[in-house]
Structure 1
Amino acid sequence: MKKIIPAQEGDYYLSPEGYRVFTEQYHLKRGYCCKSGCRHCPYGYDKNKD
C-alpha cells in the first residue's frame, strides 16, 4: 500500500492550464519514482528513453 503524503506549501504549483504540478521537493518526500514522466522528477526518469 502506498503511503499518502499530504501536500504542503512548496510541494506543487498550478500550471497556466490549472493542473497541479508537483515540485522536486514533493517527489523527494514521496521517496520513489512513479515513472509517469513528471516535469520535476529528481530520479532521472525519462519516459522517452524507457
Structure 2
Amino acid sequence: MKEIIPIEDGDFYWSDEGYRVFTRQYHLKRGYCCESGCRHCPYGYDPKTNSQ
C-alpha cells in the first residue's frame, strides 16, 4: 500500500471548475510521479510523450 500523506496548508487549491489541484509542494512531499499529467508536476512528466 502507498503511504498516506497528510494534507497541509499550501498542498492544494481549488480550480475555478471546483477541482482540487495539488501544488508542487505536495508532489515533492509525496516523493514520486504518478504519471497523471498533473499541472504542477515537479518531476517533468510529459503526458504527450509518456516520459519524464
Query: TM-score, normalising length from structure 2?
Result: 0.93
Aligned to 2:23: 23
Query: TM-score, normalising length from structure 1?
Result: 0.97
Runs of 4+ in 1 over 4 A off after TM superposition: none
Q: Distance in 1 between matches of 2:43 and 2:25?
A: 12
**Cα offset, 1:48, TM superposition:** 0.7
Which runs of 5 or more structure 1 residues have no equivalent in the other structure? none
Aligned to 1:41: 41
**Cα offset, 1:15, TM superposition:** 0.1
Size of the aligned set, in residue pairs, is 50
Query: How much identity, in percent, do the aligned residues show?
Result: 74
Task: Supply the RMSD in Å over aligned alpha carbons.
Answer: 0.4
